[in-house]
Structure 1
Amino acid sequence: MSVEIERKFLVQNDDFKSESFAQKSIKQGYLNSDKNRTVRVRIADEKAFMTIKGRSNATGTTRFEWEKEIDKLEAENLLLLCEPSIIDKTRYLVKVGNHTFEVDEFYGDNKGLTVAEVELSSENELFTKPDWLSEEVTGQVKYYNSSISKHPFKNWD
């Protein structure tokens, strides 16, 4: 059980790919995507997880998070019970200064959307912004994975 503090940004080009030190293929779905709590099932390469997240604070930077590794076969079966639709993405890890950015490139109904997140130890912690970052979208619910599973990027204006 922990508190997650992060900021989220749109990504304006693919420069992050050459800077990444690792990547993984992720499929995830939501058993519950209520705004007060989400229950997520995720398969990342050969590992699987169940995650529960609480409602974000007023700025959208901080929320409760609980995560536990589960059996991959169980996760595959749980994905069949999830709300439509399953998110498919590649996550790139990019070290910038003292922080690691997680950059998600989405596929399927969310193709064309690329979002970067950086986890912080406090809401006011300073960090280096790489050139490939664009607009900050922290706290904008439409960019939450639980939202794009219901309202995919291909349907945005």
Structure 2
Amino acid sequence: MGVEIERKFLLAGDGWRAAVERTQAMAQGYLNDLDVLAGGGQKASIRVRIEGEAAFLNIKSAQAGPSRLEFDYPVPVEDARQLLDLCVGGLVRKQRHYVRHGGHLWEIDEFEGENAGLVVAEIELDAVDEAFACPDWLGAEVTELRRYYNLALADRPYSQWSEAERAGADA
């Protein structure tokens, strides 16, 4: 069984850019209803993602928070392209930047299209209570705020958020 333990943060600056090891373009969409996080009847999201020359079908449990079940399966890229055409809601496009800090690999997602302007840093951990060094470019934690999940961004993109939501308030 796969378990993902991940925390999400806004960024307080661009200091991370100088430490980027590599960048990967990504496009992803969701095959099931987008109300999963809103307490709909579904217990998981089903996502298709293309990462450069690789593609994956991903199933992730619906609860918000740092720990969720996650299953990732490789699929042929051409199949993934066709599956993206079947997705509901909008496609989420982003550049994922990989940055090492304090012995951890940070994934910094710089969103594009309707989500342009949003940049979120994620760290995957081995335990919910695992300690990690916070880089000086790290801002407020948003792990518990569902609107920052890619599934929510496919349904209600960043361009539709209020000023309070953009400022990080739990609106």
The TM-score bracket by the shorter chain reads over 0.9
Equivalent residue for 1:51? 58
Correspondent of 1:106 among 90, 93, 111:
111
Which sections of structure 1, spanning at least 5 residues, go unmatched? none
> How far, CA to CA, are the matches of 1:47 and 1:14 in structure 2?
28
Equivalent residue for 1:125? 130
Which residue identity is paired with 1:137?
V
> How far, CA to CA, are the matches of 1:147 and 1:84 in structure 2?
10
Which sections of structure 2, spanning at least 5 residues, go unmatched? 38-42, 163-171
> How far, CA to CA, are the matches of 1:39 and 1:151 in structure 2?
17
Normalized against structure 2, the TM-score is what?
0.88
> How far, CA to CA, are the matches of 1:49 and 1:61 in structure 2?
22
Q: Kindly state the Cα deviation for residue 18 of structure 1 after the two structures are TM-superposed.
A: 1.4
Correspondent of 2:44 among 14, 37, 42:
37
Equivalent residue for 1:134? 139
> How far, CA to CA, are the matches of 1:23 and 1:55 in structure 2?
27
Which residue identity is paired with 2:115?
N
Paired-residue identity, %: 41
Normalized against structure 1, the TM-score is what?
0.95
Q: Kindly state the Cα deviation for residue 84 of structure 1 after the two structures are TM-superposed.
A: 1.8
Structure 1 residues 36-77: Cα deviation after superposition (integer angstroms, max 9, x where no partner): 2100000001100000001236xx110100000100000000
- Off by >4 Å, runs of 4+ in structure 1: none
Correspondent of 2:70 among 62, 65, 72:
65
Structure 1 residues 89-134: Cα deviation after superposition (integer angstroms, max 9, x where no partner): 0000110111101000001100100001101111110001111111
> How far, CA to CA, are the matches of 1:16 and 1:49 in structure 2?
27
The Cα RMSD (Å) is: 1.0
> How far, CA to CA, are the matches of 1:86 and 1:55 in structure 2?
19
Equivalent residue for 2:13? 13
Q: Kindly state the Cα deviation for residue 85 of structure 1 after the two structures are TM-superposed.
A: 0.3
> How far, CA to CA, are the matches of 1:117 and 1:13 in structure 2?
15
Which residue identity is paired with 1:88?
R
User: 31-40 or 107-116: which moved more?
Assistant: 31-40
More strand by share: 1
